[in-house]
């Protein structure tokens, strides 16, 4: 027991040797794409529910990366990308069906006007 000495402590405000300071990321792990701008645009112009899901996941990317959860940040980035892409393609599909519906009604109405 006499051989033990107190654990070396770093000066106040400094991390122990070999640890990254809080908020700094380990080298070699770039921040994943957060899809926030794309999710907001999808929410405004394409599909509201899928865009909101994309925004929620996109907001989690930076916060998870900031605390050092790189795998969680990658998973949130993948989920944000997935919901943003789904919302974009669903929105495009709805717009195409909307235009097609009025084109068919337009031709149908034009053809019916000849039978009066």
pLDDT in tens, the chain (116 residues): 566 655 666 566 666 665 665 555 556 689 999 999 999 999 999 999 999 999 999 999 999 998 989 999 999 999 999 999 999 999 999 999 999 998 888 777 777 776 65
- Stated pTM of the model: 0.69
- The helix or strand, by DSSP H or E, that contains position 9, with its residue range, turns out to be none
Show me where the domains of the chain are located: 36-115
- Distance CA(47)–CA(43), nearest Å, equals 5
- Distance CA(20)–CA(25), nearest Å, equals 7
Contact 74, 31 (CB under 8 A): no
Which one, of 23, 54, 30, 59, lies nearest residue 40 by Cα? 54
Contact 87, 50 (CB under 8 A): yes
């Amino acid at each position: 027991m006499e051989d033990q000495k107190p654990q070396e402590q770093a000066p106040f405000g400094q991390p122990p040797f070999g640890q990254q300071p809080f908020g700094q990321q380990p080298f070699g792990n770039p921040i994943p794409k957060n899809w926030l701008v794309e999710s907001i645009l999808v929410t405004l112009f394409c599909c509201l529910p899928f865009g909101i899901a994309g925004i929620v996941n996109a907001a989690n990317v930076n916060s998870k990366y900031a605390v050092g959860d790189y795998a969680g940040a990658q998973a949130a980035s993948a989920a944000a990308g997935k919901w943003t892409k789904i919302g974009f393609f669903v929105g495009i599909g709805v717009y195409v069906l909307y235009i097609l519906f009025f084109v068919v009604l337009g031709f149908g109405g034009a053809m019916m006007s000849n039978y009066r």
